[in-house]
């Protein structure tokens, strides 16, 4: 069987054990790519790299020097950069009026400024015909309460991705976002989605009738990284089972479901 990413090189930033970045990196390796994974925790990266057969480099997306070192390492070890994935995020849940300046600055650093600067380095150093992939969220399109800082920065960086697609298309560089809904086997949302009362609320809002898993996101990332998507750029690909056709449960829905379960 032909490995569809054979001969390609990739950076996957935002990898930790069991998260979406881990699933994407594993899929890329399985499809034949040479992969450099990155994240904040060296011990976790070493474990994942050994598990999937990748190389690793410590990188905090909020550090310009770390981003410089990541790209330099990729060029040194892999020879070039064909694919760059940003899977970092911070799932802050705080009421709108309680969100502090410190919260906003941290959120912007992780989910807007850091990705922006990562993409700057990618377009300056990646091969023509490369693919940039941003992991966004269904909440960049549909509402969820107490999540404004997260949602706003995800929506903002999605538009930056469109700008990259527009400005670097002449080099054949494609830039797209993937917007998952909740991912049941990933740390950020898995706890809630594996709690039956909450899971049932989400299933009501997902036309395909199941919650998402990391493999769903990895499948789309592999497609966007490969040549079969060579005429796709500037898009937000929704990977939510159709949830954007409906809604997220409200905080009141979630609280009511939990109270009934505990009664």
Q: Label each residue of 30-58 as H, E or C.
A: HCCCEEEEEECCHHHHHHHHHHHCCEEEE
Q: Exposed, middle or buried: residue 188 (CB in 10 Å: 0-12, 13-18, 19+)?
A: middle
CA proximity to 210, closest of 186, 239, 236: 239
Separation of alpha carbons 80 and 18, rounded Å = 27
CA proximity to 35, closest of 222, 241, 229, 192: 222
Q: Exposed, middle or buried: residue 90 (CB in 10 Å: 0-12, 13-18, 19+)?
A: middle
- Active-site residues, by number, are 150
Tokens of 15: 């990898």
Separation of alpha carbons 21 and 26, rounded Å = 9
Separation of alpha carbons 155 and 23, rounded Å = 23
Separation of alpha carbons 90 and 218, rounded Å = 19
Q: How many residues does the chain have?
A: 263
Query: Measured in Å, how far apart are the chain's first and last C-alpha atoms?
Result: 54
Separation of alpha carbons 40 and 38, rounded Å = 7
């Amino acid at each position: 069987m032909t490995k569809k990413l054979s001969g390609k090189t990739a950076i996957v930033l935002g990898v930790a054990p069991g998260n979406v970045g881990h699933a994407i990196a594993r899929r890329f390796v399985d499809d034949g790519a040479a992969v450099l994974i990155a994240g904040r925790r060296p011990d976790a990266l070493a474990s994942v790299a050994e598990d999937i057969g990748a190389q690793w480099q410590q990188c905090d997306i909020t550090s310009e020097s770390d981003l410089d070192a990541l790209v330099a390492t990729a060029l040194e070890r892999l020879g070039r950069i064909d694919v760059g994935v940003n899977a970092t995020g911070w799932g802050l849940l705080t009421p709108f009026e309680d969100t502090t300046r410190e919260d906003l600055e941290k959120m912007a650093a992780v989910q807007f400024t850091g990705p922006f600067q990562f993409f700057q380095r990618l377009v300056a150093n990646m091969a023509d015909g490369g693919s940039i992939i941003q992991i966004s969220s269904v909440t960049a399109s549909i509402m969820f309460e107490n999540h404004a800082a997260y949602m706003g920065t995800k929506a903002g960086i999605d538009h930056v991705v469109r700008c990259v697609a527009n400005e670097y298309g002449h080099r054949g560089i494609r830039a797209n976002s993937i917007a998952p809904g909740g991912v049941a086997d990933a740390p950020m949302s898995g706890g809630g989605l594996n709690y039956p009362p909450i899971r049932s609320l989400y299933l009501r809002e997902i036309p395909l009738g199941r919650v998402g898993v990391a493999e769903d996101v990895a499948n789309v990332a592999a497609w966007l990284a490969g040549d079969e998507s060579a005429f796709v750029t500037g898009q937000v690909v929704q990977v939510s089972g159709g949830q954007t056709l409906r809604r997220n449960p409200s905080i009141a829905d979630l609280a009511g479901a939990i109270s009934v379960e505990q009664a």
